[in-house]
Amino acid sequence: MAVVVVIGAQWGDEGKGKVVDLLASRAQVVARYQGGSNAGHTIVNDLGEFRLHLIPSGILTPGVTCVIGNGVVVDPTVLLGELHDLQKRGVDTSNLRISDRAHVVLPYHIA
C-alpha cells in the first residue's frame, strides 16, 4: 500500500489543502496530524466554495475517511461550525474521526 504525505516547508500558505483535495480521490484516508484552526484552506467544487480550518479537505471526497490526529489543537466552536456548514451543504461527515488524544483549546486558553 502506497502512502503519500503532503507537508509544507514554507511556514504555511503553500497550498497544501488544494493538493490534498486533488489527491483525495485516490486515497482511502486523509489525516491531519498537527496544527490548529489558525490554518485554513479554500476548496471550490460542485457544491460551492468551502473554507476549512480543522477538518481535512478530504471530507469533500465521498468514501474517504478523514482523521484529525493527536497533534491537532481542536477549537470545539470552530469544529462544530465547520461540521454544521458541511452538513447543511450536503457533505457526508460520517467518515470523520477525531483522536481522543487531540488537544482541545477553549476560550480561556486564547489571549
- Grid coordinates given for 51: 473554507
Quick one: CA dihedral 35, 82, 69, 6, positive or negative?
A: negative
Is 13 assigned a catalytic role?
yes
pTM of the model: 0.85
**pLDDT per residue as tens digits for the range 16-53:** 777 777 777 788 888 888 888 887 888 888 889 999 99
13, 84, 92, 109: which one is catalytic?
A: 13
User: pLDDT tens across 58-84, in order?
Assistant: 999 999 999 999 999 999 999 999 999
Nearest to 42 by CA among 10, 14, 17, 6: 17
* Nearest Cα residue to 19 out of 9, 73, 1: 9
Domain boundaries, the chain: 16-109
Which residue among the candidates 21, 41, 92, 109 is catalytic per the annotation?
A: 41
> Which CATH architecture group holds 16-109?
3-Layer(aba) Sandwich (3.40)
The answer to whether 109 is a known catalytic residue is no
Say if residues 105 and 74 touch (Cβ distance below 8 Å). yes
